Structure 1
């Protein structure tokens, strides 16, 4: 059974914890809404579908919010204890700082375990739902993919491009280009119009596009032989208005909740990712062997020629370009230059291919290790926060918040930097996933030691006393110069 002191400490901790978690979750959610909401509003989606999709995306935010919340709440809690002299009263009663931290350390350990379970089981499931819902929305609502100035292939049987899209629901268009998707033996058809608009069709299985002031370019080559096609002139028809229907019945009937994308490592838990790592390793070995064989095969002729020259049993006279005629010499040099350029380009392509393979493998490793690493970060942040709070003895949302944000920014920037370096294959992914924790853990241990020994690490007066002799000497020298 918890003692009254433990109950009081836990109660004091959970006050700022719940408040900070709510605020930070809201801030991170606003960031997601700001990025994603404009993509979906006015595109035919219901409010419930938009809210559901944003909820799926927001679940992943918990992994970042919880460690920062623990850091802030622990600084504020122990800062309040110090500011109200409650920490001094506890110590004067013979209660050590370690004993004071113990109930909150147990609570944070429980939160860390909960974060691991959440990251291992809940987040992958919601990421799968978000990814599939995004894919199905794009398929079910073709207009959602319309971006001005880009060729779009989401409409069945056509490629379209719009120079400008405007209107409350993006229904008005300018600079319309519609090209029928056809092979080389079918009739080719292209429509160009100055303006257009999407209007409701009588049949919901069709998307209705009304075009104004344009041309239809068509060549009737189907079922005609080669000679007939050569004689067939292109046709151009001007129109004032034209109605074009697109059959979207296949995509309309797709359920938004259908899950068609399942083979992604972010949809798996820790154990399932282990199997994926083994599988990807085998695939990578095969890919590397293929790349190696291909590169060796391309340079095999040169290797054979060098071996013949080095073999004393079969002496071969080296190729002498000086003995060739001028036109032949230029031809040989051009061929050599072409071959070298080809090999250089091939090397660049293979380097890019290898980098992509390494990057994908390292991403899987870092994602898997991150499931555990973020849980450990919670414990490290508690060590740092509790120690800092007991040292600075300042509560509220002033100095503690500033210090916590600085520590979190350092952690976040370090994470991003290490992540980019690891993806390039310059750092072991297992080490890269844990590097931020390995850097912060000694700092947390040092702060905890300073807090246990009542060190005045952040006492400004202490540093003023250390620099006072130097400062006094400087002031005296300035006064001496002034009176000379």
Structure 2
């Protein structure tokens, strides 16, 4: 690493850490602390429990502040270099503006990757534990692992007609067992077979129906054809974790879980546009670290940008406009006016083009 690169990264580090602390404090002070205070007043939780909930809520907040902090750090660091005429000296030494921002752009890309990684590992686990603790507090018992009146009805991919209808009165996720189950098998949209059983259990990566009967369906009546003690239902391919996933909100799922959730809902013929927008935003929002750097670097070099208060104020304005475009893009993607991927990335596309334009202008 060259001296100039180390110097630029050193300049970037302090405002970056300041930004993480400042924006995290804003989110904590305006949201988390009020929620914890309500829990202490309404539900009588202890200070220790409140502290645990506070720590569990921090990963999501801190990760959310990374793009904002990167914008603020870029504005302040380049504003300081410009205000002290160091940029002029660097340019006189033959260092172009593009060469100047390359190490900062690399840091922004790394921070984007770190954000995606944290959203896949730390954040989902902390949110899941937080949700279960809140349930325990409000219901005075552990969150149940059972689901009642479970129904699954996927469509055939080729014909878009019903493939089968599966029903279970009760699903217990703790021992992977269902009670009072039935499966109606369809061919070309017509019912051809019904399987009923007292229970079904996940054994050897398959659902096995236990103590039941099979009916073949003709045009007149249901004809019982076989009683069984154990019968493997090959058409029921959903794993227990895919069934139990319904207990999680899409926002709490990892990318892998959300992708499977989208696929399963598509199989049932349901509208998944909003879920797809959410999925693509899991990449688009972290990538805003890079996008904000494209915007922040040339704006930081503008006259009268060296003050910290000005940099913070400009950051808030840019962030507000960014999230306004994100809201518009999400709405257009969810309603089908734009494809979900374009809707999720609309704000990055617009800000990216503006940033590239500003960089070209500054390089002349």
TM-score w.r.t. the length of structure 1 is 0.51
Residues 366-375 or 111-120, more deviating: 366-375
C-alpha displacement of 1:62: 2.7
Provide the aligned length of Structure 1 versus Structure 2.
262
1:278 maps to which of 234, 258, 263: 263
Structure 1 residue 267 corresponds to structure 2 residue 252: yes
Q: Distance in 2 between matches of 1:26 and 1:431?
A: 32
- Post-superposition Cα deviations, 1:125-156, rounded to whole Å, max 9, x if no partner, equal 22212222221211118xxxxxxxxxxxxxxx
Structure 1 residue 136 corresponds to structure 2 residue 136: yes
Cα 1:393–1:383 shift into 2, 3 Å: farther
C-alpha displacement of 1:427: 4.1
- After superposition, residues 114-129 of structure 1 pair within 5 angstroms as 114-129=114-129
Q: 5+ unaligned residues in a row in structure 1: which ranges?
A: 142-258, 286-356, 454-484
Q: Distance in 1 between matches of 2:100 and 2:304?
A: 15
Does structure 2 retain, via aligned residues, the 8 Å contact 1:17–1:70?
A: yes
C-alpha displacement of 1:433: 1.0
Cα 1:10–1:49 shift into 2, 3 Å: same
Partner of 2:238: none
Structure 1 residue 12 corresponds to structure 2 residue 11: yes
- After superposition, residues 172-183 of structure 1 pair within 5 angstroms as none
Q: 1:391 aligns to what SS in structure 2?
A: coil
Q: Distance in 2 between matches of 1:262 and 1:387?
A: 46
Partner of 2:340: 429
Partner of 1:366: 277
Q: 1:52 aligns to what SS in structure 2?
A: helix
- Post-superposition Cα deviations, 1:236-262, rounded to whole Å, max 9, x if no partner, equal xxxxxxxxxxxxxxxxxxxxxxx9985
Structure 1 residue 378 corresponds to structure 2 residue 363: no
Partner of 2:350: 439
Cα 1:272–1:404 shift into 2, 3 Å: same
Does structure 1 retain, via aligned residues, the 8 Å contact 2:127–2:252?
A: yes
Partner of 2:2: 3
Structure 1 residue 25 corresponds to structure 2 residue 21: no
Q: Distance in 1 between matches of 2:358 and 2:104?
A: 17
Does structure 1 retain, via aligned residues, the 8 Å contact 2:20–2:62?
A: no
Does structure 2 retain, via aligned residues, the 8 Å contact 1:366–1:430?
A: yes
C-alpha displacement of 1:92: 0.2
Q: Distance in 1 between matches of 2:17 and 2:263?
A: 41
Q: Distance in 2 between matches of 1:416 and 1:15?
A: 31
Q: Distance in 1 between matches of 2:331 and 2:56?
A: 26
Structure 1 residue 77 corresponds to structure 2 residue 74: no
Cα 1:109–1:90 shift into 2, 3 Å: same
Q: 5+ unaligned residues in a row in structure 2: which ranges?
A: 142-243
Q: 2:44 aligns to what SS in structure 1?
A: coil
Does structure 2 retain, via aligned residues, the 8 Å contact 1:78–1:389?
A: yes
Q: Distance in 1 between matches of 2:296 and 2:357?
A: 12
**Greater gyration radius:** 1
Partner of 1:108: 108
C-alpha displacement of 1:385: 0.4
- Post-superposition Cα deviations, 1:413-441, rounded to whole Å, max 9, x if no partner, equal 22233334544555432221111111111
Does structure 2 retain, via aligned residues, the 8 Å contact 1:74–1:386?
A: yes
Q: Distance in 1 between matches of 2:33 and 2:256?
A: 35
Partner of 2:171: none
- Post-superposition Cα deviations, 1:374-419, rounded to whole Å, max 9, x if no partner, equal 1221101001001111233621213322222111100112223333
- After superposition, residues 42-441 of structure 1 pair within 5 angstroms as 42=41, 43-140=43-140, 262-283=247-268, 285=269, 358=271, 361-392=272-303, 394-441=305-352
C-alpha displacement of 1:81: 0.6
Partner of 1:473: none
Q: 2:308 aligns to what SS in structure 1?
A: coil
Q: 2:278 aligns to what SS in structure 1?
A: helix
Q: Give the structure with the larger strand fraction.
A: 2
Q: Distance in 1 between matches of 2:303 and 2:295?
A: 12
Q: Distance in 2 between matches of 1:415 and 1:106?
A: 24
Q: Distance in 1 between matches of 2:360 and 2:353?
A: 10
